[in-house]
Amino acid sequence: MTAGTVAIGVDWGTTSFRAFRFGAEGEMLEGRRAQAGILAIDAGEFEDAFEELIGDWLDAVPTVPVVLSGMIGSRQGWLETPYLSCPAAVDDISGALVPLTLARGRVIHLAPGLSVRAGDGVPDVMRGEEVQILGAVDLLGATSATVCLPGTHSKWAVVENRRVTSFSTHMTGEVFDVLRRHSILGRGIEHAAWDDAAFRKGVARSGAAGGLLHHLFGVRAAGLFGDLAPEAAGAFLSGLVIGHEIRAAEPTGTVYLVGEEELVRLYRGALETLGHRGEAVAAHAAACGLFLIADSLAREAGR
Amino acid sequence: MTAGTVAIGVDWGTTSFRAFRFGAEGEMLEGRRAQAGILAIDAGEFEDAFEELIGDWLDAVPTVPVVLSGMIGSRQGWLETPYLSCPAAVDDISGALVPLTLARGRVIHLAPGLSVRAGDGVPDVMRGEEVQILGAVDLLGATSATVCLPGTHSKWAVVENRRVTSFSTHMTGEVFDVLRRHSILGRGIEHAAWDDAAFRKGVARSGAAGGLLHHLFGVRAAGLFGDLAPEAAGAFLSGLVIGHEIRAAEPTGTVYLVGEEELVRLYRGALETLGHRGEAVAAHAAACGLFLIADSLAREAGR
């Protein structure tokens, strides 16, 4: 059943767990997915959870590399791994893997995160997205690309010559969520509704004078004047913050999008509205990135 | 006790009630303040509350004009008054007052709000601040000025020739509050602490590349790296959003600040950090504005 497995990769994030068994060409032989994100697991219980989730794979293929990426390597995770400074390639990440010996004696490897510092010294960080980003670029058959992972904390990364050279995080999804749930804007929003035209209007509005803090109040004022129905207000607000994110990211060339289908659709539309081009990375970028790291580790060990 | 009263003005907002008795020269003979903002009063109970708060003044001076401004004229208030389009001067506001007859037979007047539309048609509104803005400019002995009322929803207004010609609202205070209470940023903030140097750093950071949604994540990343202590993070975040507000408002010349002493101090510092100049309007701008409107109403009635 597990024949031909040459590596196991695990993308273990805040809210989800995804594991993959890879064949010799990096093909995914099997995938497993669970709701067991690190927030759902108590400190000290990670090994038990891990054994429960893929202990049978470990039994069946006792020697192949096992690589874990994502928030599992954060302070709230299993074992805190350091952040690697950009620029960073697959080999840099595999060279900085942190080994962890399980009670059964098997050694597994946790990936480091990546960090970068802006000109004024303020840092930025990612954990897990770098694996998806490098995987996406490999899937594209490219060596350089701009990659965006939209979401709660959207990541924009520039990859040059297969190395993540810089990136920035935008709190777009979380800001949208706290505003519609906890600010006065929520009163004018019918949460279950969506309106693509209003979304595009919000994206376009992001370029108007006055900045984001002013544009946000416009959601309320337009509602008071009956210019924005509650059924359209949530989509308008979403377009507004996504528009601000894209403008701030200043993309050049095609933006490769990695993420949930619906979110990728929205970002493609927003990029188009702002005169850019977005393209979805169709295959599983995290799996690809995990295989690349495990493969690099195996080649390193074989030397 | 109420001798010499020529007008009564009431600034009745969301969270507070302030009433003033004025003498013939506009001097404040008496002020009263209560926590009885409109949110604390049930629909249908406004007249009872009003009588309880200043019924004795109405008894004592039965004929002078009584003008109310603020959210009391909103949909959630006593009686919804319209929005007057900018440009608007004191006489425009007094000409658009909405009369309301109390059970005791006395007529009082509720002020309209102001509205303005951006080039792309999105509206902005204020209720009550226009009275403070026109009052502040009068107190300055000026006819033109840029006035800022910092707060939950900061207002920036341009007054030319004693008319509010344009304004913009920024959700700065509310965004700061929901982020520190409901977003991941709150985890890295010691809420009771303050740090002026960190505030100034946040203000300066607002000019860096990447936009507000990216800068917000920097609060978290800097915390992870130990670059920003929890005792400094709240002030840094505050400086960040206030810096973004000021940059977006693009002030020219001195900015006259109307508001709570501590908030005015912060905005003065932020303006200075960004190379601008802020000056506090020391006296009670709302009282002055209410007197101007009541006086205009009386002159109109006397014609």
A34 membership: H or E segment, kind and range: strand A28-34
Structure tokens at B62: 């039965």
CB contact under 8 A, B212 and A211: yes
The residue type found at A20 is F
Strand A7-12 with A17-22, pairing: antiparallel
Among the listed residues A297, A303, A302, the one whose alpha carbon sits nearest the alpha carbon of residue A67: A297
Tokens 């969301």: give the residue. Answer: B14
pLDDT digit string (tens) for chain A, length 303 residues:
567 999 999 999 999 999 999 999 999 999 999 999 999 999 999 999 999 999 999 999 989 999 999 999 999 999 999 999 999 999 999 999 999 999 999 999 999 999 999 988 999 999 999 999 999 999 999 999 999 999 999 999 999 999 999 999 999 999 999 999 999 999 999 999 999 999 999 999 999 999 999 999 999 999 999 999 999 999 999 999 999 999 999 999 999 999 999 999 999 999 999 999 999 998 799 999 999 999 999 988 876
Residue B194 CA to residue B190 CA, distance in Å, equals: 9
pLDDT of residue B1: 57
Chain B interface mutation, best of A172, A177, A214, A215, highest count of B Cβ atoms under 10 Å: A214
| Chain A / chain B CB contacts < 8 angstroms | 162
A216 and B153: CB-CB below 8 Å?
no
**Which member of B153, B212, B222 has the closest CB to residue A122?**
B222
In angstroms, the CA A87 to CA A67 distance is: 21
One domain for residues B181 and B266: yes
Beta bridge partners of A12: A17
pLDDT at B7 over 60: yes
Amino acid at A264: V
The structure tokens 């190379």 sit at B275
pLDDT reported for residue A83: 97
Q: Are strands B7-12 and A123-126 parallel, antiparallel or unpaired?
A: unpaired
Question: Per DSSP, what are the bridge partners of residue B30?
Answer: B21
Q: Give B-chain residues touching A208 at CB under 8 angstroms.
A: 118-120, 122
- Is the CB of B119 less than 8 angstroms away from the CB of A225? no
Question: How far apart are the CA of B91 and the nearest CA of chain A, in angstroms?
Answer: 24
Same domain, B294 and B229: no
- Percent pLDDT > 70 in chain B is 99
Residue B212 and residue B210: Cα distance in Å, rounded? Answer: 7
Residues of B in contact with A225 (CB under 8 A): 115, 123, 125
Q: Is A185 found in the same domain as A274?
A: yes
Q: Mean pLDDT in chain B?
A: 96
Residue A286 and residue A136: Cα distance in Å, rounded? Answer: 8
DSSP state of B73: G
Closest in B118, B171, B217 to A208, CB measured:
B118
Phi, psi of A274, deg, nearest 5: -95, 10
Same domain, B117 and B220: no
Q: Are B60 and B5 in contact (CB under 8 A)?
A: yes
What is residue A268's predicted lDDT score, i.e. its pLDDT? 98
Find out whether A11 and A286 touch, Cβ atoms under 8 Å.
yes
Is residue A290 in some structural domain?
no
Mean pLDDT of B84-95: 98
Query: How far is residue A123's CA from residue A113's CA, in Å, rounded to a whole number?
Result: 13
- % of chain B residues with pLDDT over 90: 94
Residues A28 and A113 in one domain: yes
Can you give the pLDDT at residue A259?
Answer: 95
Q: Are residues A199 and A255 in the same domain?
A: yes
A128 is a domain residue: yes
What gap in Å lies between CA A245 and CA A20, rounded to an integer?
32
Predicted confidence at residue B294, as pLDDT, reads: 97
In this prediction, residue B288 has a pLDDT band, given cuts at 50, 70 and 90, of: very high
In a domain, B148, yes or no: no
A175–chain B nearest CA distance, Å: 8
Give the tens place of pLDDT for each residue, B36-62: 999 999 999 999 999 999 999 999 998
What separation in angstroms does the CA of B51 have from each of A80, A183, B55, B173, B238? 64, 33, 4, 33, 40
Residues A270 and A243: beta-carbon distance below 8 Å:
yes
CB contact under 8 A, B221 and A125: yes
CB contact under 8 A, B118 and A241: no
Spatial separation of the C-alpha atoms in residues B190 and B180, rounded to whole Å: 10
> Phi first, then psi: what are they for B33, rounded to 5°?
-140, 140
* In-domain check, residue B250: yes
CB-CB under 8 Å, A118 with B210 = yes
Residue A303 pLDDT: 66
Residues B191 and B175: their CA atoms lie apart, in Å, by 15
Candidate from A118, A178, A244 with C-beta closest to B179: A178
Helix (H) or strand (E) holding A126: strand A123-126
* Sign, CA torsion B202/B207/B210/B211: positive
Is B175's CB within 8 Å of A208's CB?
Answer: no
Residues B19 and B120 in one domain: yes
- Residue B231 domain flag: yes
Within-domain flag for B78: yes
3-state SS class at B157: strand
- Are B145 and B256 spatial neighbours (Cβ–Cβ below 8 Å)? yes
> Same structural domain for residues B265 and B291?
no
State whether A134 and A237 are in the same domain: no
CATH of the domain at B90: 3.30.420.300
Helix, strand, or coil here: B169? strand
The answer to whether the CB atoms of A213 and B247 lie below 8 A apart is no
- Residue B63 near residue B71 (C-beta atoms within 8 A): no
Is residue B18 within 8 Å of B32, Cβ to Cβ? yes
CB contact under 8 A, B213 and A120: no
Burial (CB < 10 A; 0-12, 13-18, 19+), residue B44, is exposed
Are B134 and B243 part of one and the same domain? Answer: no
CB–CB of A124 and B217 under 8 A?
yes
Task: Work out the angle between the directed axes of helices A172-182 and B172-182 (0-180°, nearest 10).
Answer: 100
Q: Are residues A128 and A11 in the same domain?
A: yes
β-pair type (B66-69, B7-12): parallel
Which of B169, B184, B222 is facing A174, going by the closest CB pair? B184
| Total domains present in chain B | 2
Q: Closest Cα to residue B72, out of B5, B131, B138?
A: B131
Residue B251 shares a structural domain with residue B294: no
CATH number of the structural domain spanning residue A270: 3.30.420.310
Tokens 């425009």 sit at which residue?
Answer: B92
Q: Residue B303: what pLDDT?
A: 66
Q: Tell me the C-alpha to C-alpha distance, in Å, between residue A108 and each of A2, A68, A169.
A: 18, 8, 29
Look at residue A61 and tell me if it is in a domain: yes
Q: What are the residues whose beta carbons fall under 8 Å from the beta carbon of B153, sequence distance 6 or more?
A: A217, B169, B170, B171, B172, B173, B174
Q: How far is CA B195 from CA A20, A75, A76, B100, B277, in A?
A: 48, 26, 28, 48, 22
Q: Domain containing B29: what range?
A: 7-141+285-302
Identify whether B1 is part of a domain.
no
| Cα(A54)–Cα(A12) distance, integer angstroms | 12
Radius of gyration of chain A (CA): 21
Strand partners of residue B104: none
